[in-house]
Structures are given as structure tokens and as C-alpha cells.
Structure 1
Amino acid sequence: MKRLETDVVVIGGGSTGLGVVRDAALRGYRAVLVERVDLGQGTTGRFHGLLHSGGRYVVSDPQSATECAEENAILRRIQASAVEDTGGFFVTLPGDDPSYADQFLAGAAKTGVPATEISVAEALRREPRLHPGIQRAIEVADGSVDGWQLVWGAARSAMSHGAKVLTYHRVTRIEREGGRVSAVLCRDEKGGEDIRIECSFVLNCAGPWAGQIAAMAGAREVEVVAGRGIMIAMNHRIVNTVINRCVYPTDGDILVPVHTVSIIGTTDIHESDPDHLPIPRDEVQQMLDAGEAMIPGFRTARALHAWSGSRPLIKDDRVAAHDTRNMSRGMAVIDHSERDGLTGMLTIGGGKLTTYRLMAEHIMDAMGDQLGENRPCRTADEVIPGSEDRRLYAVTHRLEEREADRLDDPIVCECELMSRSMLVDALHAQPNATLDDLRRQLRLGMGPCQGGFCAARAAGIACSEQVADAERATGLLRLFLKHRWIGLWPILYGPQVRQTALDHWIFAGTLDVEHLPHPEQEVVR
């Protein structure tokens, strides 16, 4: 068994975990993060892409509203390359209560969320596809954020300060000596090796799975309530501004422009198992109807992909266990020394991706209190690698970048303008990565064809670069297509049926991918 020794083990490779391991490293702790799959593969990679202005919560959850407003400004400063400044509107649609806008403006003033009412004519001038019957419009500082770029940026920052980030390392046991945590045991799922990490502190940032991790340490039940939400990406930027309905938070009340697509969301349904999140067809129709209400003609756009994510909400005793819509979005830190007599372990839940840095600061401060140390937090001031120029992301950035090398570096994925050199560099840096791992970093296959053209090219390049032999390359391709299909079958209607049929002809007909030589043991990770 391989052995490591560190000060802090962070469990969970979503935005919170990466924020925590970065904060720990910046405070001078030796830190190791372990994640059972890839970074950002859970809740962080399964949201609608919104950088919250705080507007959504000015009435329903004032504390969360203030936190979002403050962290929005910080992220634009320290992680600009992952943020697009789209701006946002809260609009009153026909049939909505116009007086709610007054509650909204009063709540914004109390919580410090910048909000300005603009004329309906100005809103329609800037977003002409909005419903022409809107009655009121309020401008806020919403943006969009690339969750995977955000977590990998935090990971690079943490590693530059000495932290270790171990993906595909599944926690199998948490050991304790008396009343203190002493070690975390993991299984390297790709290398097939068991690892023992001796430590003095464990920070449980496993999101919807935090209860399972706490149980491994013998702690009493941590009630993490999984609130499932589905989202749908449409095939182009129907709007360039985040559009919110000016109502108390409900299903299907937000449309977010992210990269080259628009994302409609979301539902909020209690689920018992965060590993099994369905995408019901009736909820797909609900989201499409919601989009049509905000943007007439919304349904004529092609739905590209549907997915579901699980909010890691901490049980709120004020509301029923199944009522995830009305549970607080605020963060909660559980001190197991007070609750369970177990020192050296803290659990965090709740919060938003927008507040991931603040969540890390809170749990690290709590760790310092338990250790009797006061090491200052530096994460709000130190810029994350890749954002040194403080330049915010723009949807045109890859087109601009391709201008310089367009004659020398072939495009592998036309939808996302991903070049061959980008893929080759990533393949050699991560030779054990799947095409899905690379998709999360490079956006491979995330455009209108959903990998129909670029996936086979990527598998061929992996083979030609001798990163994978022919059989493994086929296995990688088959796994990639399998995962893409999960988000395609719920939206098979209209133009998407034609695209899916074309992709099927390419892979099942021309390439006959199901009968190509492939590994005896199917590639699964």
C-alpha cells in the first residue's frame, strides 16, 4: 500500500473542494485533495452556468443574496478567464405579479445587490427576442461562468503552492485514533493501487455525498438533501443576457447564455440517491414551455443536450424534507467535535458555485479555530493562474485565438474551435484521461453535433500520438458516445432526431464502431 503524509485531506473535487485545497495551500498547510472521478464531474459540472448577482435570492434568501453579490465581484477579479460579463435582466412576464418587482428592488437595496429598473423599451432593444408583453425589467450584474475552467484554475493554483490533487481516487475508509481522525484510505481506480494518507485533519467537501463520507468516520448522520434539477442546452445563443423571471424562485425561470449555447433551467425535486438522477420527459417539456414563455419561438431552436444535477442542501428544519425548492441556499459548516466527539473533521454543504471561495474561507477558518491557529485567508487577493491580465472571458475568444494559427493548426472540433494542438497537449499531459475527461477541459463534442464529427477524430489522434493503441482508442470512443447518449435521448424530437440519425449512420454505419476491435474489459473510466 502506498503511503502519503499530509496536514489536511480534502475530500471532493467539485468547486468547494478545489476552493478549500487552494485556500489550505495558500495558508501554508500541506494539503491533498482526493476525488473519486474527475474534477467537476458532480454538481459543479451539472448546473446552468450562472454567476449569481444575488438577485435571485433578494427576497427568498437575503444572506445568500449578499454573499453572491460580494463573491461575484471577487471572482471577476481573481478568476476573470472563467467569467463572461453577460449582465442580467429580471423581467415581469404577462401574468406575473408586477408588484413583485417592488419587493425585489427593496430586497436588493437591503442586501447590497446592485439592481436598477430600466424601461421595457430598453430591455427589448437590448434583447429583442424577449416576450414583447413584458411589463417591467430590472438590470443586475449576473454573468456566466465555466465551472470546469473554474475548478481546474483553482487546482492549478493549489498545485503551484504545493498541494496534491488526486483524481479517480475513491475513499474507502477513514481511520481514527480514539476521538481523532488519523488517516484516509483511498483506491486509485485507474492505477489499481491502494493509498493510505496519514493526516491531522479531514475536510469533507463531497457535496451530495457528504453524508456517506461522514459515515465512514463514524459520525452521526449528516442530512444532505439532494435537490435534483434538470437543464437543457439549446443550439445557439438565443439571448446574450441572462434572463430571469421576476417572480419568487420557481421552476424554469432562468435562461443563461454560456459559450455558444443557451441553457434553460431548472427544476428542483427531492431525490434520495445523487448517483441516479433521472431526466423525465415531462420535466423536459416543462423547461421548453418555460423558455417559450420568456422567448416566443424558443421551441423552434434545437435542443442539444439535457442533464440533471444534485444540489447539496443541508437539511433545513424550517421546511419539509421533500421541499428542496424552499430550503436555504446558504452554506453550513458541521463541526464533528461538537456534534460527534470526533476532532479533526469538518463537513461543509449548501452554498452556490458563485460562493465557492467564501465557503472555503469559512471551513478553513473553522479548522484554524479547532487547531488554535490563525492563518489569514489570501484567496480573495491572489489571482488564479490564467487570469493575470484580469481579462474576462468573451464568447469570441477562441475565434480570435484561431486567427493566429488557423493555417498551421487544424481544427478538430469545429463547433467549439478546438485545435489539434490543444488536444495533443492535453493527451500527453494526461495519458490516462478519457475523452470525457478532455471534454470537460477542452469542450470537445459540446457543440451542435454533440461529438458526431470530432469524437472519431479525437480517438484517431490519441492513436496516432501513441497515447492509446487502436483497441483502447475504440474503447475511449465508445465510452464517450455512451455518455453523450444519456443527455440526448430525452430530447429526441424535431431537428435533433435528424442530427442523432446522422451521428448514428457515421458511427454505426460508416465506422461500425460496435464491431471494431476493442479492449476485452470495456473502458469505464
Structure 2
Amino acid sequence: MQELSAYTRQRWDVVVIGGGATGAGTLRDLAMRGVKALLLEQRDLVHGTSSRFHGLLHSGARYAVKDAEAGRECIEENRILRRIGKHCVEETEGFFVRSPQDGPEFEEQWVKACAECGIEALPLSVREARTLEPNLAPDIVSVYRVPDSAVDGFRLVWQNVQSARRYGAGFRTYTEVTAVNSANGAVTGVSVRDTRTGETGVIPCAFVVNAAGSWVGEIARTAGLTINVKPDRGTLVAFNHRFTSRVINRLRKASDGDIFVPHGSITILGTTSKKTERPDDTVPDTGEVRELLDIGRVLFPDIDGYRILRTFAGTRPLYTADPSAEGRGASRNFVVLDHEREGLKGMATICGGKLTTYRLMGERMADLVCGKLGVNAACRTAIEPLVQDASDELMARARKVFPAQGLEQARSRLGDSFAAAVERLEAAPWKKTLLCECERVTVAEFEQVASESTTYSLNDIRRRTRMGMGTCQGSFCGLRGVGAVLEADLLPAARPEGTAEDAAQAGACGAPDLLRTFQQERWYGIRPVLWGSELRETELARGMYGATLNIDGADE
């Protein structure tokens, strides 16, 4: 990563705060309209809500009854994203399923509401549905087919940022905004702190976009503003089995544990809705997991026979003008707040919404910003793909060096970095070896991401490649990853000077610290589900790292 001074020495048109889907979508839109924009994120990209959800690309059917506007937005954006972001989306389709426990009254309302919103909801016979999804409960009453899909939030955000960079945008991770500065009622810039080095500085800009998700209230307070955003905590469970090929929604009023989403080889069950005061309240607990399992058995009676891979939690940034509305009582729609109305010119906040509507949210914010800056350019984000398809020539080269089972995954994950990974393999064919068998991550792909200036840790690599997110939860690839870092002198951004060996001596990039922080993050999601096969897997990992390698994370 460039020194902080490289950003403080120049003036930007716009600073976007928040490295989730909304911030990345806004950055891309602004850059494509010719605006000089910089994105700042306090951690790594996709560290917050955009990676802590069930991964559902909504058809809008879930919101059709209660929030028709949100339903219409979802189905429109669903169609757009399947077109421009095909490397991020798996077109699974979805079922809405009514169980005997759920009365017919809501079903009638729902069918009518879907039709009014333009959402195709086709009835299926129970027999046909169970032929397609044989693990569904045998006593289900009715089933409808809808155009739901699964979406990879990690990949989506990175590909938006890569697209924005092609148009001249900048981004800096591990950079916390400590204050929004102003003079005479107008924004002049933002004060920032490098969360790794402690370095501070001021980045001048004409406009600030607050797209910090559950943290928008905290950013607003640094500017002397108040925003009524209530973080809402949701817990989810990931199973090490793809026991459904389609998204399965329970056909009733929105409640906990209503959605099963297939992703690759796993299935995610979610979610809960709990009031919280902290935007970073993301450590799940066992009680919530058991609640979800109890609810999930209604649609999948054999759920206890599937191994739980891990559990995780995130917070939704719910905005409401009604102070009494919270949780599922608050709208899932989004709002753009122009703070010039409150006396601060040059700042706006966007909050609420869903990942499905991130592009539309970015468009609405970019419309506002461009209007303020006098930029007369149309939005093109619904037309241009996030990632251009690799050329036939590049794919032909890739097929000669990549392992067949990992080629398509690598191309989708790496985006603009794919060509560089191919070159690594051509130079050293042995690097086609799989460093992570679960997610089919080659040594070449690992090295490519590790060598980039925005990568500081194994967890940063995980969010780009999915290393450690499969069956073994990093028990094997974590150790291999540390070995690869030290052998190839990787993660240059993680140390200020010198080689990896020098940094290890100083404790900046030492193998034990790299491995401990990687395994500790995995442990947060495993600890609440320590029973059955998960407990046995954990004891294996403890034996490897605690006994054999003498790495103890108990003090973390």
C-alpha cells in the first residue's frame, strides 16, 4: 500500500467512507462518470455486513407483501446483477414453501403482491418440488418457484472496486476516518488514521459520502450530525453439505430462520434478528444457533444429520424515521440523506437497503453527488459488466497451466488479477499445486493475492480466494499458507522494510502471529457449535496447532 502521504498530498473530488457493497458500488458509479473518487475502509474490504449475510440475491418476493417498493427494486436489480455480475452470481432459482404450521391467509396475500410487483411466482406441485429437492419435508403444503439466486459478497465488492480503479478511482484499506472536517459550513476533508501503523493525516476533498453501513451513525457524529440508524444483529449457520440446490424460503411473514441458501458445496441457514447497540456485535452464540436449527427442521427434518461447518453474525444498518420501529418492524428500504439540509454542505449519507440493491443505492447517491459537483454524466453501471471476460487467447494459455478443477473458480475470484496469476503459472508450472483443496486455491493464486499492496494477512487472502472457508476451516491450508509466505517472501505490505525474515524477527510478520490470527478468526465461528463432528474436527486442529506446533490461542 502507498504511504498515507500519497493520499494527503492530493485533493479528491469525493471521499467514500465504507468498503462494503454500497461504498464500492458508489465508488464505481462516480468513477465511471469521471469523478475523482477515493474509497476508505477501516479494515479490509468486505469485512462488515456485505460478507456477513446469507448470500441471497433477492427476487423481491420476500418483501412483496410488506414493502412493495423494496420488492420491485429487488427484482429489477436481481435481473441487472445477473447480467453485469455473472462471475459473482449462481443462478439457483428459489422456492417459497408453505408448511402445515403456516396458514393459507398469508399465501393468498403473497401471490397477489408478487404479481403486483412484477415478480414471477409459479406454483409447483408438492410432488414435483420434492422430486427436484428430495430433502424437503414430506408434509409441505404448497410451493412456488421464484427467480432468487446466490451471490458472493466478497467477489462482488472486489470486482466493483477493480472496475472503479480502471476508471481512475483510488481506495485505501485499514484507514479509519476519525473526523469529517469543515469550514464555514462546508466539508474540507477527512482526518484519518492508519489502523496498522498509527500514522495520521488529513485528506482534502470537496464531498464526503458516508456509506459505512452499521457505522454510519458513528461517522455522522464526527461531523456533528445525528442519524437514526439501529444496528440489527443476525446470526447464520453454514452447513458442510449442499442439501438443497435452490434457495428455499419459508412462505410466511418474515421471521427468523426462514431462508436456506446454497453456496458452492455448502448451505447457509439464516437469519435471526436481534437488537444491538454495537455495529461490531458480530460474535454468534450457541443459543441463537439452536433456535435456528429448531426452526429449520420444519422444512428440512434431517437437518441434524448435516455437519455444521461454522456460524457467523453480522449487523444490518436499519434506518427508520420512526424511533419505535426496530428489527423486522423496520423497513428494508434505503435512504439518501443530504446533510446540506442540516447545515453541512458537501456531505451525504446512504443507509438501509440490502446487498441486492447496492447498485441502485450507488446510482442514487452518485446522482446526488454529481448534481452538487456540476457533473453532467449518465449512470452506466447497469450496462457495463463488472469484469470483462478473459480473452480466448488468455483462456487457452490458462488451460495449459491451471488444474482443470480450479480454473473457472480462479478466473471468477481474481477478476483483473487473473492474467497475472496465469503468468505466474507459466513461469513456474509447479504452482498449480492446490494450497487449499477445499476451495481449490492454487499456490499461484495465493501468491498473486499475497503479493498485492492491499494484502496484509492470511485473512485478507481468505476474503479474496476463500482459502480456509471450506471443510477443514483452515486447519491445513493455514499452515501451508504461512509456509508459502515465508518461502516466497510474500505479504510485502505487512512489513515496512526488509525481508520476511527481518519482519519475523521484529514480530511484524512472524509465522506464529500470521497463523494465530488466521486460526483465531476461524475459531470465532466454530466455538458456538462445538458438538458432534465439529467437536472432533476441533480436537484434531487443537492437536496439530496446540500440541505439535505449540501455538495456543486461548489467550486471544
Aligned-CA RMSD value: 2.2
Q: Which amino acid aligns with 1:227?
A: D
1:47 to 41, 53, 59: 53
Distance (Å, rounded) in 1 between the aligned partners of 2:514 and 2:455: 10
Q: Which amino acid aligns with 2:442?
A: S
Shift of 1:255: 0.3
Q: 1:36-84: per-residue Cα shift (whole Å, max 9, x none)?
A: 0000100001000101011110111111110010000100111100000
2:92 to 72, 86, 93: 86
Shifted more, 22-31 versus 408-417: the winner is 408-417
Aligned position for 2:243: 238
1:345-364 aligned at under 5 Å gives the runs 345-364=347-366
Kept in 1, the 8 Å contact 2:173–2:454? The answer is no
1:170-185 aligned at under 5 Å gives the runs 170-185=176-191
Q: 1:89-144: per-residue Cα shift (whole Å, max 9, x none)?
A: 00001211133222111001111112111111111110000011111000000000
Kept in 2, the 8 Å contact 1:34–1:167? The answer is yes
Aligned position for 1:332: 335
Aligned position for 1:29: 35
1:320 aligns with 2:324: yes
1:382 aligns with 2:384: yes
Aligned position for 2:367: 365
Q: 1:461-511: per-residue Cα shift (whole Å, max 9, x none)?
A: 101011233561221110011111111110111110000000110111111
1:457 aligns with 2:476: no
1:97 aligns with 2:120: no
Distance (Å, rounded) in 1 between the aligned partners of 2:32 and 2:545: 47
Residues 158 and 402 of structure 1: CA distance in aligned 2, closer, same or farther (over 3 Å) = closer
Q: Which amino acid aligns with 2:111?
A: L
Residues 402 and 48 of structure 1: CA distance in aligned 2, closer, same or farther (over 3 Å) = closer
Shift of 1:176: 0.3
TM-score normalised by L of structure 1: 0.93
Shift of 1:387: 5.0
Q: Which amino acid aligns with 2:331?
A: S
Q: 1:147-177: per-residue Cα shift (whole Å, max 9, x none)?
A: 0000000000001100001000111121101
Distance (Å, rounded) in 2 between the aligned partners of 1:412 and 1:132: 41
Residues 358 and 397 of structure 1: CA distance in aligned 2, closer, same or farther (over 3 Å) = farther
Distance (Å, rounded) in 2 between the aligned partners of 1:388 and 1:62: 39
Residues 90 and 112 of structure 1: CA distance in aligned 2, closer, same or farther (over 3 Å) = same
3-state SS of paired residue (2:217)? helix
Aligned position for 1:486: 524
3-state SS of paired residue (1:500)? helix
3-state SS of paired residue (1:262)? strand
Distance (Å, rounded) in 2 between the aligned partners of 1:32 and 1:44: 19
Q: 1:256-287: per-residue Cα shift (whole Å, max 9, x none)?
A: 00121100000111111112334232211011
Distance (Å, rounded) in 2 between the aligned partners of 1:343 and 1:491: 49
Residues 431 and 169 of structure 1: CA distance in aligned 2, closer, same or farther (over 3 Å) = closer
Distance (Å, rounded) in 1 between the aligned partners of 2:489 and 2:187: 43
1:448 aligns with 2:471: yes
Q: Which amino acid aligns with 2:103?
A: D
Shift of 1:398: 4.8
1:397-436 aligned at under 5 Å gives the runs 398-399=405-406, 401=408, 409-430=432-453, 432-436=455-459
3-state SS of paired residue (2:54)? coil
Kept in 2, the 8 Å contact 1:331–1:348? The answer is yes
1:157 to 153, 157, 163: 163
Aligned position for 1:519: none
Shifted more, 161-170 versus 466-475: the winner is 466-475
Q: Which amino acid aligns with 2:247?
A: V
1:274-353 aligned at under 5 Å gives the runs 274-317=279-322, 320-321=324-325, 323-338=326-341, 340-353=342-355
Shift of 1:345: 0.4
Q: Which amino acid aligns with 1:308?
A: A
Distance (Å, rounded) in 1 between the aligned partners of 2:148 and 2:160: 21
Q: How many residues matched?
A: 507
Residues 369 and 146 of structure 1: CA distance in aligned 2, closer, same or farther (over 3 Å) = same
Q: 1:197-249: per-residue Cα shift (whole Å, max 9, x none)?
A: 11110000001110111111122x10111110000100110111000000011
Q: Structure 1: state its 5+ residue gaps.
A: 390-395, 516-521
Q: Which amino acid aligns with 1:283?
A: E
Aligned position for 2:209: 203
Q: Structure 2: state its 5+ residue gaps.
A: 392-402, 411-421, 491-499
Aligned position for 2:493: none
TM-score normalised by L of structure 2: 0.88
